[in-house]
């Protein structure tokens, strides 16, 4: 086991975005999905990553080729059904969906192969990040429960950035750290509303289910953290928002990078908050310079509740 991170991203997607640059449209084609963005940020923070994915069809062929340009290792399971995708038009400044498809559900053989590949890479790592599929129906939550249980039983710290049935599954399997948004807690019925008291109550309930630490992101407001008997607000440094999407994924990545090196929870929270704050200043999701994250860490305020 080393200070590397396995990122489980069972169903990444192909993203196609049209933007306006001066007088001409620009086409951007990238590999996307929560796990890809997290792997990118963890790598930027200097921690080696193994990304475990299942890819198929023409979109999968393109995603696989694009992932070769990334600076992390990729373990790919070939699947018969096509990988998901979306086409967004942002020429007017808004994110208009032209067309999208989450991909077909992974079949039993795909799930078994993916479990074995992720288990192998997870056992070679000190931390495993379990990220969600772009479309919840694409991956059976039972795979998450099985993988979380096997990794936890073998001493790997599991970090989950999930919601809905997939979060429930890893709670059954075993998870050390949960990052979840306030909207997800309310949407899943785990919190009655988005008040601080209700969210902290939901966080305490997660701790009672065996989770070591919980981080609740709250869009533009301070995040809430619960760990080792502490309950606190995590205030990011003030930066102008350029693209709000992906901040939560970068936050999870920052936390995982510190836990993989054996750092403290306070350092993990500072790194996660700084990484999330930096991400919103950029167009690319899960991007940012590690030196900028480290500089911003001292400007993160952690205040007890």
pLDDT digits (tens, 9 = 90+) for 70-96: 999 999 999 989 999 999 999 988 889
Of 159-173, 228-242, 281-295, highest mean pLDDT: 159-173
Residue 178 within any structural domain of the chain: yes
**Do strands 96-103 and 125-131 pair parallel, antiparallel, or not at all (unpaired)?**
unpaired
Residue 100 has a CB neighbour count (10 Å cut-off) of 15
pLDDT band at 285 (very low <50, low <70, confident <90, very high): very low
Of 294 and 143, the structure prediction assigns the larger pLDDT to 143
Q: Are the beta carbons of 82 and 110 closer than 8 angstroms?
A: no
Residue 101 within any structural domain of the chain: no
Q: Flag whether the pTM goes above 0.85.
A: yes
Residue 110 within any structural domain of the chain: yes
Q: How many distinct structural domains can be found in the chain?
A: 1
Cα distances (Å, whole numbers) of residue 106 to 31, 78, 202: 18, 11, 31
Residue 157: which H helix or E strand, with range?
strand 157-161
Quote the DSSP letter at residue 263. -
Residue 52 within any structural domain of the chain: yes
pLDDT at 26 over 80: yes
Per-residue pLDDT, 120:
98
pLDDT tens-digit series, residues 94-152: 889 999 999 999 999 999 999 999 999 999 999 999 999 988 999 999 999 999 999 99
Q: What is the mean pLDDT of residues 16-32?
A: 92
Per-residue pLDDT, 62:
97
pLDDT at 160 over 60: yes
Residue 26 within any structural domain of the chain: no
Average pLDDT of every residue of the chain:
92
Q: Are the beta carbons of 51 and 75 closer than 8 angstroms?
A: yes
Q: Are the beta carbons of 134 and 18 closer than 8 angstroms?
A: no
Residue 119 within any structural domain of the chain: yes
At 154, phi and psi to the nearest 5?
A: -105, 20
Identify the CATH number of the domain in which residue 51 sits: 3.40.1190.20
Percentage of the chain with pLDDT > 90? 82
Cα distances (Å, whole numbers) of residue 123 to 8, 33, 50, 263, 268: 13, 23, 11, 19, 22
Domain extent, residue 218, equals 2-11+34-58+106-304
Which is nearest to 157 in space by CA: 255, 229, 225, 283?
255
Per-residue pLDDT, 244:
54
Per-residue pLDDT, 284:
47
Residue 72 within any structural domain of the chain: no
Which is nearest to 176 in space by CA: 201, 152, 153?
152
Per-residue pLDDT, 247:
80
Residue 80 within any structural domain of the chain: no
pLDDT band at 241 (very low <50, low <70, confident <90, very high): low
Q: What is the mean pLDDT of residues 191-212?
A: 97
pLDDT at 246 over 50: yes
pLDDT at 183 over 90: yes
Per-residue pLDDT, 93:
82
pLDDT at 289 over 80: no
DSSP-derived 3-state class of residue 36 = helix
pLDDT band at 245 (very low <50, low <70, confident <90, very high): low
């Amino acid at each position: 086991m080393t200070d590397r991170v396995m990122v489980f991203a069972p169903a990444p997607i192909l993203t196609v975005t049209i933007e306006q640059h001066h007088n001409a449209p620009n086409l951007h084609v990238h590999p996307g999905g929560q796990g890809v963005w997290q792997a990118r940020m963890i790598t930027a923070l200097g921690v080696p990553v193994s990304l475990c994915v299942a890819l198929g069809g023409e979109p999968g062929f393109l995603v696989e080729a694009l992932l070769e340009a990334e600076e992390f290792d990729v373990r790919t399971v070939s699947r018969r059904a096509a990988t998901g995708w979306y086409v967004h038009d942002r020429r007017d400044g808004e994110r208009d969906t032209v067309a999208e498809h989450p991909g077909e559900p992974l079949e039993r053989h795909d799930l078994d192969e993916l479990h074995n590949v992720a288990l192998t890479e997870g056992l070679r790592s000190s931390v495993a990040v379990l990220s969600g599929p772009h479309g919840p129906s694409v991956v059976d939550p039972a795979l998450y429960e099985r993988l979380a249980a096997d990794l936890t039983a073998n001493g790997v710290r599991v970090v989950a950035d999930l919601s809905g049935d997939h979060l429930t599954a890893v709670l059954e399997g075993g998870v050390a750290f949960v990052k979840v948004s306030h909207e997800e807690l309310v949407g899943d019925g785990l919190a009655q509303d988005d008040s601080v008291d209700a969210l902290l109550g939901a966080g305490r309930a997660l701790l009672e289910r065996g989770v070591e630490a919980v981080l609740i992101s709250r869009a533009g407001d301070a995040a809430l953290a619960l760990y080792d008997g502490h309950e606190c607000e995590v205030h990011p440094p003030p930066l102008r928002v350029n693209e709000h999407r992906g901040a939560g994924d970068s936050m999870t990545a920052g936390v995982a990078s510190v836990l993989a090196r054996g750092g403290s929870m306070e350092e993990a929270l500072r790194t996660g908050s700084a990484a999330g704050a930096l991400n919103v200043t950029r167009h690319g999701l899960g991007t940012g310079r590690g030196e900028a994250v480290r500089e911003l860490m001292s400007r993160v305020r952690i205040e007890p509740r």
